[in-house]
Amino acid sequence: MELTGRQIRISVRNLVEFVLRSGDIDNRRTAGAQKEAMLAGGRMHRKIQRRMGSGYQAEVSLRHSVEEDGFQIVVEGRADGIIRDGRNVTIDEIKCVYQDVNCLEEAVGVHMAQARCYGYIYGLQEALDEVTLQLTYCNLETEEIRRFQQIQTMDELSEWFAGLIHEYVKWARYLYHNGLRRDESIKALEFPYPYRAGQRELAVAVYRTLERGRRLFVQAPTGIGKTLSTVFPALKAIGEGHGQKLFYLTAKTITRTVAEEALAILRERGLYFRSVTITAKEKLCILEKPVCNPEMCPRAKGHFDRVNDAVYEILHQEFGITRSVILEYAEKFQVCPFEFCLDISSFVDGIICDYNYVFDPDVRLKRYFADGAEGDYFFLMDEAHNLVSRAREMYSASIIKEEVLLTKKVLGHRAPALGRQLTRLNKALLEMKRECGGYQVITDAGHLVPVLNSVFGEMEKYLEKPGEEDGRDTILDFYFSVRHFLNMYERVDEHYRIYTELLPSGEFVIRLYCVNPIENLAQCLSQGKAAVFFSATLLPLRYYRMLLSDQEEDYTVYVPSPFPQEQRLLLAATDVTSRYTRRNELEYRRVLRYIQTMASVKKGNYIVFFPSYQYMNRVREVCEGEYAYQKVELDDNEKMKNHSGENGKSMEILVQDSHMTEEEREAFLQKFSPERTAERDTSLVAFCVMGGLFSEGIDLTGDRLIGVIVVGTGLPMVCTEQKILQGYFEEAGKDGFAYAYQYPGMNKVLQAAGRVIRTASDQGVILLLDDRFWHREYRELFPREWSDVKRVSLSSLEQELQAFWSRFPEVQ
């Protein structure tokens, strides 16, 4: 649903699915019965269309406008086929499924409703008396076809369509008047604070990019206010009619909160703009584990009978529709919070969500992006450096041989045909395993696709049958793995590598590895109007441009730090390293001495970022026997006894756990609060892992954090995928080691270091522990504001720290 001026545009599909839905949510029937199959459906559509002969018009665009209360409702879409024989016209709607088409007793209601819409619009254009509506169902595995037909007069279709529009009018009226008030408020909106150095230039660059429908890469330091500096000009561009909906995309929950707060600040200054934050189903569900059927979930039963009323009320009562607000209204109307949240998104001006709702082929919001649909959407990508690894994972796929055997085992004798196909698949994988040493890059996996298609078809049939027997979840998980593999195989091109590997666990895997996601991301980005990628660590820019955008004319902006350099001390050690060949007791003790010296010169809160949990734990073990410290537990009920060390100094140690809930994460950060800091008589030193929960997205301003130590250059571990990455870039004429290891490693370093200076009044120290930071190839990756880095050794550290902190006697 899109608002442009006086026009409200809605697709035929979205219109009928929104207005005509009723009854329960029930996911016990899989994608085959209720939905078209994913990418494979497009191929089969075209194959069926070609078979129909020269009299068959394929993919006919249709559009109809209805005047209402000073605005227009424009209903548009593409009919799969139109067959003309004189005055006799048949509208053909094709649905490709994996279900046995002979099991269908009649056409699915919303499918026939789509055909009715196309029949009415085409009949009106051609002044017809009646139209034949045809639903063509095709099984993707067998290519068997079944058709359902009905003839309707134009009078019948006209009356039916008028009723459909009548049900939709109140929603269209809301969209139209909301858009008028939104644009009026944006015109009067001013930036809420005095611009910091570089902020105005950034805002102007963002506005011009969005106005022109281009893409922009922004390298801007932590603390400059990137969120407001991108959101504000995006709103201005929407108010001027250059865009229709804002997508603020993030990788982590904390950055979604920052976006919510930015919009709240602007609303306090007069902005009339509704937004919704989309939260994962698992975090919204009222059940321990989402089970979306009316027998297991009371909210699923009759959900569609209640949800439109819930949506209408929340839109008229709320502007910043966050997770807590959604849960409150979902409770009131007894609807599924997640599905409720998705429906709200159709009627708001801005959507705050994870990357996957725009880019992930399995999760992306089909109401906006299905079937290649396009809109005047603005995409703002916060912490855009994360999109590279996330996209690689989204567009890669794996089949593990042992999961085939597990699925067959839990299936038992319940589905003999499926069991036979799983045996075929296991045999094919076993043959590949025999040819594989450690790992092997292969040129093609086409021979596996027919077997997987057969498995998938049988799994569709099996899962169509109701049942809650033991092992069904295991079978369903494998079903999704097969589906994803088949869909990703359709995307395999020169940016993929296919390999097999014997894992350390003994498992055998075949993987479609998306080395460079540029083509897949480009398809998604082309469905919007413009995009802005921004981060404090988007260096080197050429690296990210090569992986995130296929447009050579993209803009780039480097925003210098607005903070005075004299309030930040940057040190890099020359007498310590984290190289694998030098990881020993002596180096761990040296690292610990650096930590202890930094913590003892000035009492305060510090974070040490280690290259891995293993490295962190080795240093902690040395700490237990070498220095006096207290280990702070998250609940504060238990503390390790304060040991006496050789130098008699002490510090409190807080250690990141490898699996932390949101509550544990909040408790961890609470240790840095001003109240807790004031209570302590020693320094707090948090042991964390680079690239983990606390290395980006956290905002510990002022005295909450006065120092960061980064141990190592952040290089990824050597593994099969990193080797393949290196080879891919070398084949492209690039420095493979830099692209596969150094660039992503330095990104982690910069993110970790960025935790310490967050505002213009902050003072703090960044200490880099690895002699490689003095090598040219690493120094070239430093941001411009790191030009004042100083060499330091263990013998000179204390003097450098004392000299720095002596500049700020008022805060000692």
pLDDT band at residue 69 under the 50/70/90 scheme: confident
Cα torsion 53, 54, 59, 62: sign: negative
Domains 188-270+351-395+517-562 and 565-811 share a fold: yes
Domain 402-514 - what CATH class?
A: mainly alpha
The β-bridge relationship of strands 130-139 and 88-97 is parallel
Whether this prediction's pTM lies above 0.85 is answered by yes
Phi, psi of 143 (to 5 degrees): 65, 15
pLDDT higher than 80, residue 584: yes
Mean pLDDT of the 493-506 span: 95
- Can you spell out the DSSP letters for 326-368? HHHHHHHHT--HHHHHHHHHTTSSEEEEETHHHH-TTTS-HHH
The C-alpha atoms of residue 117 and residue 94 are separated, in whole angstroms, by 14
Which of 192, 191, 267, 194 has its CA nearest to residue 760? 194
Predicted local confidence at residue 5, as pLDDT? 66
pLDDT at 28 over 70: no
Q: Residue 621: CB partners within 8 Å, gap ≥ 6?
A: none
Domain segments of the chain: what residues? 2-171, 188-270+351-395+517-562, 274-348, 402-514, 565-811
Secondary structure of 75-122 in HEC code, one letter for each residue: EEEEEEEEEEECCEEEEEEEEEECCCHHHCCCCCHHHHHHHHHHHHHH
- β-pair partners for 94: 136
| CA 274/CA 269 separation, integer angstroms | 14
Over residues 311-315, the mean pLDDT reads: 96
Tell whether the model's pLDDT for residue 38 goes beyond 60. no
Residue 572 bridge partners (DSSP): 768, 791
Question: Are the C-beta atoms of residues 693 and 656 closer than 8 Å to each other?
Answer: yes
Name the pLDDT band for 747 (thresholds 50, 70, 90). very high
pLDDT band at 141 (very low <50, low <70, confident <90, very high): confident
Residue 39 confidence (pLDDT): 46
What per-residue confidence (pLDDT) applies to 105? 87
Is CATH 3.40.50.300 what the domain over 565-811 is classified as, yes or no?
Answer: yes
- Report the interhelical angle of 386-394 vs 541-548 (nearest 10°): 30
Whether pLDDT at 784 is above 80: yes
Which amino acid is it at 450? P
User: In whole angstroms, what is the distance from residue 651 CA to residue 624 CA?
Assistant: 11
253 Cβ contact partners less than 8 Å away, ≥ 6 residues apart: 662
Mean pLDDT value of segment 11-20: 90
pLDDT (average), residues 234-246: 96
Contact 351/375 with Cβ under 8 angstroms?
no
188-270+351-395+517-562: CATH topology is Rossmann fold (3.40.50)
Cα distance between residue 454 and residue 707, in whole Å: 58
Confidence of residue 42 (pLDDT cuts 50, 70, 90): low
Distance CA 684, CA 671 (A): 8
pLDDT recorded at residue 428: 96
Please say whether the beta carbons of 527 and 753 come within 8 A: no
Q: Return all residues near 278 (Cβ < 8 A) that are at least 6 apart.
A: 341, 342, 345, 351, 352, 353, 354, 357
Cα–Cα distance measured from residue 216 to residue 347, given in angstroms and rounded to the nearest whole number:
27
Q: What is the mean pLDDT of the chain?
A: 90
Mean pLDDT of 48-77: 86
Six-digit token pair at 318? Answer: 């709320």
Please answer whether residues 615 and 770 qualify as being in contact, where contact means their C-beta atoms are separated by less than 8 angstroms.
no
754-768 pLDDT per residue, tens: 999 888 889 999 999
Structure-token pair, residue 360: 């992930």
Distance CA(389)–CA(516), nearest Å, equals: 10
CATH architecture, range 2-171: Alpha-Beta Complex (3.90)
Residue range 459-480: average pLDDT? 82
pLDDT of residue 402: 97
Q: How much is the average pLDDT of 265-282?
A: 96
Closest CA to 131 of 173, 177, 85, 164: 85
Output the CA angle 624-625-629, nearest 5 degrees.
45
CB atoms within 10 A of CB 484: 20
- Confidence at residue 466, expressed as pLDDT on a 0 to 100 scale: 64
Determine the length of the chain.
812
Say if residues 210 and 532 touch (Cβ distance below 8 Å): yes
How far is it, in rounded angstroms, from Cα 597 to Cα 498?
A: 49
pLDDT over 70 (residue 648):
no
